Amino acid sequence: RIGYSGDEMPTVLLASVVGACPHSPAIFGDGISASSDCELYFPVARGLVVDWSLVEQLWRHAFLDVMKLNPAEHCVMVAEPLLNPRASRDNMASVLVETLGFSRIAFVLTSVAVGYASGRSELLCLESGHGSTLVFPLWGGYVLPHACSRTPFAGQDITQHLSALLEARGVRLLEGARATKE
């Protein structure tokens, strides 16, 4: 999700998938249809970036092609997940500032942003996405790091389990169900 501060909704909602098609340029996010003959690449696995060159292509597409902004005229705030490895933060900063040319960058923990968005400074939050699930307390506007937990069990595992249950009953799912979901 990418947008401008103060807007009600993000300007860009882009799935983290890149399609490499035989006779056309790369296709990003929702532009990929499940029936296309593109090879699909997923640069994020279990909540962590595994292919920075694909993430750079996604961000370049979102900021330059879709939003049509000049990064040198803007600063960017990145909401990063709790327990994000330091190397991941360093890579994000490198791509956004050195490669794409943003003038400034700021990081905020998604857990703190959740607290601000809900208008609470004390809460217990369960954040479950496609590849990982986090549980964390927020007290006085601060995350209590000793009480945070991350597990690689999340939405993709539930999807796989439900798919297996359906297939055991004779219901066949289409190939590329993940691409359709994305």
Say what the pLDDT of residue 179 is.
45
The pLDDT of residue 86 is above 80: yes
The pLDDT of residue 182 is above 50: no
Conformational region of residue 67, where left means phi above 0, alpha means psi within -120 to 50, and beta covers everything else: alpha
Check if the beta carbon of residue 27 is closer than 8 Å to that of residue 18.
yes
Residue type, 159: T
- The 3-state DSSP class for residue 181 equals helix
Question: What spatial distance separates the first Cα and last Cα of the chain, rounded to whole Å?
Answer: 13
Rounded to the nearest 5°, which phi and psi values hold at 104?
-145, 160
- The residue ranking higher by pLDDT, 173 or 163, is 163
Residue type, 62: A
Say what the pLDDT of residue 44 is.
87
- The 3-state DSSP class for residue 60 equals helix
Q: 118-135 pLDDT, tens per residue? A: 888 898 888 888 888 989
Q: 14-69 pLDDT, tens per residue? A: 888 888 877 777 777 766 665 567 788 888 887 789 999 999 999 998 899 889 99
C-alpha 162/C-alpha 178 separation (Å) is 13
